[in-house]
Structure 1
């Protein structure tokens, strides 16, 4: 086994989640999508999760912009701490809703402008450092900043402003340029969040397409396409957590030897928001699954699948919340590493259950390939 688990914890989770998979494995009749239930589920996904999620993000970014401006007006250690706290709140709100990586989020490079990650060659970092070193005044205005590289106008750039080399100057007069650059980033984030909210709130826009799949719909020609998109949000997001959030900084064991880890490849490692972000990703996925009422798509004899999925979500979120402290310290602690192993193993299990068990049970076919769209 690639990952090592605390034995009792691992067996408890796997034993509790197993009955649903066993039950579905005995199903003999082919599954057909419940087309009568789907429109209501799609509508709830929009009204109960997506729109509220973008509203929360809009409010959080506006607060960050306000706190950033206050820091520039009256620099102090207390004001810097308030801005950092507001930044962490935006990270949590964004991590909850970033799972909806489609539609308006992909238009005008909004997603990458809000969060440029991963930055494998540190290209973005170098660009941010260059702006700070050269005091590029065009980066201190939101209108001109949005025309620059996506790597210098989002959360990653702002994290470096608040926590990178020289960030301590923000508490005094010596950080004036750095602070004004931060304000421009916060205003840019607010503008993007407001655009995303407006796009989803528009009655005849993307929400209408989600709520009314069928002929003539530019997004979903039938219910199967709509169901595929909705479940695809969950499947692709769990893949993202597994491959882009966990694996870059920790991969369990490599060639039979414990992986020492790469803490500086972890998202938000400077601000200590790595695991809080992953917990918010998982929390957002569970909230989408439940608030949309996706259980309603399951046949009566397969409803236990929803229970096993919620069990996995709860266990994963709880384990993620218990991984505390800077990532470099986490990787040096055996107990914390065991929790990371647990998260990695059961994230893979969650992915399989969503794709194979849930997808198969609602009529998309066991082993449905979301990556290939077939």
Structure 2
């Protein structure tokens, strides 16, 4: 009976989603180079660069709130630090999908967020450090050369929300707080580096804007557009594979609530929501619809419909992951996110990519 009810509930959830199989047959039409350059320029100027600037501002605020907490600890200061952490996490999630360029150089991506950490390597290192403090780590530049798992949001989450974190509200100049300060400043520094590198007019932004035989990244406009679409496809895969399937793979599968990102601080869905919004915003900001043949522009509309539906359900999820995986109504919503996550990948990779001639013999999803 439970399975029957469950199936009925899912049917209601899925009823409004456009059917992937009902889309019209694709007729690839290669966009003009000038059209692709316009889309790439909009993606850089209206999504990537503003995204990194916003992340830097949020990281700077986080560092300031950690300073305040360590200087004058109080319950309110701890609340403010946690709120700044959530905002910085949200801001990072909005640009996290740009897993290319400066973000993946010098281990910046992992230093900001080491995840998934299936063997709890980072947790063990942070716990060991808090049990046996090393004051050199809290000095300026002290985290340089240390494990990436000790440098970013995962470490700071345990500082602010892990076992013993309540003492941050009462202990002045504690090692735990000073370590949290160092991590926050480290995140802010990396965010600043990303802004500087993307703002340089003759740097990575120029490589994206101006494909050519001497370009270190892209020889042709098609290569640049492939990379941009790859950001979207791999971003959609990240939501499904790393944000949800890490702890929930379906009704009959074992669940792992403590593998969910930021489960301690209740920010799992903060990340998922911001990741999904980033996909929607990149599609809109870049004007990708302009590259589609006139009779296939509905691909963008249906993709937006799926993203909007997923965002609606994400907003209905319980921040307590233990509850989310044990409550039947919540599990139905998780199933909805998994099914629509797969659909989203297909719409981007197969439908959009196919319509502009990018998926013939190529699969973003397989990484070929």
TM-score, structure 1 length as denominator? 0.93
- Counterpart of 1:275 (choices 269, 277, 283) is 269
Q: 1:310 to 1:196 in 2, by over 3 A?
A: same
Q: How does 1:344-359 map to 2 (within 5 A)?
A: 344-359=338-353
TM-score, structure 2 length as denominator? 0.95
Q: By how many angstroms is 1:11 displaced?
A: 2.1
Runs in 1 of length 4+ with deviation above 3 angstroms?
A: 371-374
In 2, Cα distance between the equivalents of 1:44 and 1:34? Answer: 16
Q: Deviations over 1:250-295 (max 9, x none)?
A: 0113xxx3x3521100000100000110110010011001101011
Query: How large is the Cα RMSD of the aligned pairs?
Result: 1.7
Aligned to 1:328: 322
Q: Deviations over 1:62-89 (max 9, x none)?
A: 0011000001110100000000000000
In 2, Cα distance between the equivalents of 1:175 and 1:292? Answer: 47
Is 2:237 aligned against 1:239?
yes
Is 2:51 aligned against 1:53?
yes
Q: 1:352 to 1:77 in 2, by over 3 A?
A: same
Aligned to 1:7: 11
- Counterpart of 1:360 (choices 337, 346, 354) is 354
Q: 1:261 to 1:174 in 2, by over 3 A?
A: farther
Q: Is the 8 A contact 2:89 2:271 kept in 1?
A: yes
Aligned to 1:114: 112
Q: Deviations over 1:287-310 (max 9, x none)?
A: 001101011111111101011011
In 2, Cα distance between the equivalents of 1:18 and 1:293? Answer: 25
| Number of equivalences | 363
Q: 1:142 to 1:329 in 2, by over 3 A?
A: farther
Q: Is the 8 A contact 2:33 2:221 kept in 1?
A: yes
Aligned to 2:225: 227
Q: By how many angstroms is 1:31 displaced?
A: 2.6
Q: Is the 8 A contact 2:28 2:356 kept in 1?
A: no
Is 2:71 aligned against 1:73?
yes
In 2, Cα distance between the equivalents of 1:214 and 1:32? Answer: 18
Q: How does 1:1-374 map to 2 (within 5 A)?
A: 6-15=10-19, 21=23, 23=24, 25=25, 27=26, 29-173=27-171, 176-253=174-251, 257=252, 259=253, 261-366=255-360, 368-370=362-364
Q: Is the 8 A contact 2:52 2:195 kept in 1?
A: yes
Q: Is the 8 A contact 1:355 1:366 kept in 2?
A: no
In 2, Cα distance between the equivalents of 1:267 and 1:226? Answer: 31
SS in 1 for 2:80: helix
Q: Deviations over 1:151-181 (max 9, x none)?
A: 0010000000001111011001267110000
Q: By how many angstroms is 1:228 displaced?
A: 0.5
Structure 2, unmatched stretches of 5+, are none
In 2, Cα distance between the equivalents of 1:306 and 1:181? Answer: 45
SS in 2 for 1:144: coil
Q: By how many angstroms is 1:219 displaced?
A: 0.5
SS in 2 for 1:82: helix
- For structure 1, which segment, 223-232 or 239-248, has the greater mean C-alpha deviation from structure 2 after superposition? 239-248
Q: 1:301 to 1:69 in 2, by over 3 A?
A: same
